Structure 1
Amino acid sequence: MLKKEGLPSINELCIATVDKIFELGAYVKLDEYGGLEAYLPWNEVSSKWVRNIREVIREGQKVVVKVIRVDRKKNQVDVSLKRVAEVERKRKIKEWKRARRAEKIIEAAAKKLGANLDEAYSEVWLKLEGVYGDVLAGLEEASVTGAEALRKAGVPDRWIEALMEEIPKHIRVKQVRVAGRLIMMTYEPDGVYRIREIFKSLAEVPGEGITIKMYTEGAPRYVVELIGNDYKVLEATLSELVSKAETLGKKLGVSISFERIKLG
């Protein structure tokens, strides 16, 4: 699925595998172009003088190269190692690793469906890439918001169930937390039950994808903790909880104050 068609463009960054090393250069295979052979001249290996090219590269090594010449008539490509800036190298490697992760998920789904990789590429890969730019980003969105993220990209229904089964095996959604402390006091004889009613009402506030934890630090101090995937949504939900607690407190004769808790 990672195979690109045709030849790369000038200045394009490519993941390559060093294939053969000679005294005056090396041949590498461009992984994203189906193993297309490219030539790495000796003077494009390093910006520093080296006695032996093997001091810099070795057979089988994965490297990031920049395309410097393309002869489309002869189907020949020359690349450079020294012209790749460190920030470019890191960015390309990150993109490559993300693409490989996405590839594994889609291949596993294809296996379940008995579909071939060409079908997976046209029906899933290109659809997600077209909408999200990064295929893994589309799969990550599906892990958070559900199958609708795949439908939005135009992924056929027959793929969606298989993908949604595979995504949790490969993508772990990073969760965030917010918390606050409610100080609730009342002098009414049934005060415990009034505070309990407030807790019951607060438990109904959080929407889908948000976990709420409420526990006491010892009366009259009670902690409310929210866990979810979106910090802004959690902040808004916590504000809603506090507002609802204050409204109910006035009705039930319970004085309420709130303070944020910083989580490490």
Structure 2
Amino acid sequence: MEKKIPKKWELVVCRIKKINPHSVLAYLVEYERMGLIHVSEVASRWVRDIREFVKENQYVVCRVMEANTEHISLSLKRVYKEDRTKKLNEFKRERRSEKLIEMCGRLLKKSAEEVKKEIVPVLVEEFGSLTKTFEMALRKPDLLKRKDIPVKWREAIMDIAKKNYAEKTFAVKGELRLITSRPDGIDLIKKALLKAKSQGLEVQYVSAPKYVLIGKGKNYKEVESKVREIGEGIAKGFEGEASFELEK
């Protein structure tokens, strides 16, 4: 079977294989192909020595600039910190899920190669990834029953999921500053913080006039958006001096 080719602009996890004076050879782990990072795509600032930015065998996240069967051009500098963190987390969770599906295979006396050929393509086709498969096994087990998953595999997946799998929870923090000289200022601040709590955020007191709003959830982008919206809304509606900023 011919290996797949990544799409342009896609984020991919790579392992640095060789560092040349003006380029880097990187192995695209998810696609089992080699790609090249030109020195001009290593960093936004001038690069005197590529080894100041990457090391051999290091795992990095790259953006695909061009891709065909003959050549894949990659960029390091065009990956934002948030996207890099999210992609690496997804990669680590998928690798862990691969270990879990192998555990399912051992329950059924299947070799790693048999697991890879027999069930992995089916699960990826149905759910998009092995990680999502185990998430569904925990959150919506009935969905596995409705899908075209053999009973023996379904039972093994649900058993392993209950014993070994836990969904990732993200925490997003933001600093809220509230200052007022009004006589009822304390009540105004309490009211503002209570509003954050009523919308599902945790509130931590740092030191006047600083407070930390914390949101938690399974989807980082959704949690980040929620914390930003609530924090900025409180700051905008506060009767006094106020500001809100997400923590980096």
Q: TM-score, normalised by structure 2?
A: 0.60
1:48 aligned to 37, 45, 52, which one?
Answer: 45
Inter-partner Cα distance in structure 1 for 2:11 and 2:88: 10
Partner of 1:82: 77
- The letter for the 2-side match of 1:9 is K
User: How big is the shift at 1:90?
Assistant: 2.0
User: How big is the shift at 1:170?
Assistant: 1.8
CA spacing shift, 1:59–1:143, aligned 2, 3 Å = same
Deviations 1:151-176 (A, max 9, x none): 223211121232233223321379xx
Partner of 1:151: 145
User: How big is the shift at 1:5?
Assistant: 3.1
2:92 partner SS = helix
Q: TM-score, normalised by structure 1?
A: 0.57
User: How big is the shift at 1:121?
Assistant: 4.3
4+ residue runs over 4 A deviation: 116-119
Percent pairwise identity: 32
Conserved in 2, the CA contact under 8 Å of 1:144 and 1:173? no
Unaligned runs of 5+ in 2: 169-248
User: How big is the shift at 1:144?
Assistant: 4.2
Count the aligned residue pairs.
Answer: 169
Q: How does 1:63-82 map to 2 (within 5 A)?
A: 63-72=60-69, 75-82=70-77
Verify: 1:31 aligned to 2:29, yes or no: yes
CA RMSD of aligned residues (A): 2.7
Verify: 1:167 aligned to 2:182, yes or no: no
CA spacing shift, 1:154–1:119, aligned 2, 3 Å = farther
CA spacing shift, 1:137–1:69, aligned 2, 3 Å = closer
Deviations 1:187-245 (A, max 9, x none): xxxxxxxxxxxxxxxxxxxxxxxxxxxxxxxxxxxxxxxxxxxxxxxxxxxxxxxxxxx
- The letter for the 1-side match of 2:73 is D
User: How big is the shift at 1:118?
Assistant: 5.5
Partner of 2:128: 133
Inter-partner Cα distance in structure 1 for 2:110 and 2:144: 18
Q: How does 1:1-264 map to 2 (within 5 A)?
A: 5-34=3-32, 36-72=33-69, 75-117=70-112, 119-121=114-116, 123-146=118-141, 148-172=142-166
Inter-partner Cα distance in structure 2 for 1:118 and 1:150: 23
CA spacing shift, 1:118–1:41, aligned 2, 3 Å = same
CA spacing shift, 1:78–1:108, aligned 2, 3 Å = same
- The letter for the 1-side match of 2:101 is I
Structure with max Cα Rg: 1
- The letter for the 2-side match of 1:113 is L
Inter-partner Cα distance in structure 2 for 1:150 and 1:131: 9
Conserved in 1, the CA contact under 8 Å of 2:94 and 2:130? yes
